[in-house]
């Protein structure tokens, strides 16, 4: 996955394609943010995705140590489910954010460069 993110940074494009940004975020949360040159946002989303998935997995595995329907089993299963839902929210947010960032990339570059075409007397 790290190779995927490195390749996105090596081949920059002038105006990112919103559909491609959504696809990259669907493959891995944060991928679309790297594609739209939002490196800090992409790193945070990728880190959160890894944290949430690993927490869900650890809690699920911990629940297997207890008898079914015991208080500890319920606690760990509920925690695993919660982390899974948080990951789903992050996943959907990452896709939406990549789409919006790709659309606004042109607007941001327009204001950064300044409106050179229109000169007022």
> 3 burial class (0-12, 13-18, 19+ CB within 10 angstroms)?
exposed
Angle at 46 between CA 5 and CA 10, to 5 degrees: 15
The whole-number pLDDT of residue 7 equals 59
Q: How far apart are CA 23 and CA 99, in angstroms?
A: 9
The whole-number pLDDT of residue 11 equals 60
**What phi and psi, each to the nearest 5 degrees, are found at residue 57?**
-65, -45
Neighbouring C-alpha atoms within 13 Å toward the C-beta of 86: 16
Q: At a CB cut-off of 8 Å and minimum separation 6, what does 62 contact?
A: 76
The whole-number pLDDT of residue 83 equals 98
Mean pLDDT by 10 residues, the chain (121 residues): 60 77 95 93 97 98 94 96 98 96 77 56 48
The whole-number pLDDT of residue 3 equals 65
Q: How far apart are CA 84 and CA 14, in angstroms?
A: 35
Q: Where are the domains of the chain?
A: 2-9+16-112
> Closest Cα to residue 59, out of 93, 27, 89, 87?
87
């Amino acid at each position: 996955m790290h190779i995927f993110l490195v390749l996105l940074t090596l081949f920059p494009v002038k105006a990112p394609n919103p559909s491609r940004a959504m696809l990259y975020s669907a493959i891995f949360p944060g991928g679309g943010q790297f594609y739209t040159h939002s490196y800090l946002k992409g790193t945070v989303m990728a880190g959160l995705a890894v944290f949430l998935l690993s927490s869900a997995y650890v809690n699920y595995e911990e629940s297997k140590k207890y008898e079914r329907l015991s208080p500890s089993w319920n606690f760990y299963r509920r925690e695993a489910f919660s982390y899974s839902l948080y990951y789903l929210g992050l996943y959907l947010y990452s896709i939406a954010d990549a789409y919006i960032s790709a659309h606004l990339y042109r607007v941001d570059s327009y204001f950064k460069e300044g409106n050179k075409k229109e000169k007022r007397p």
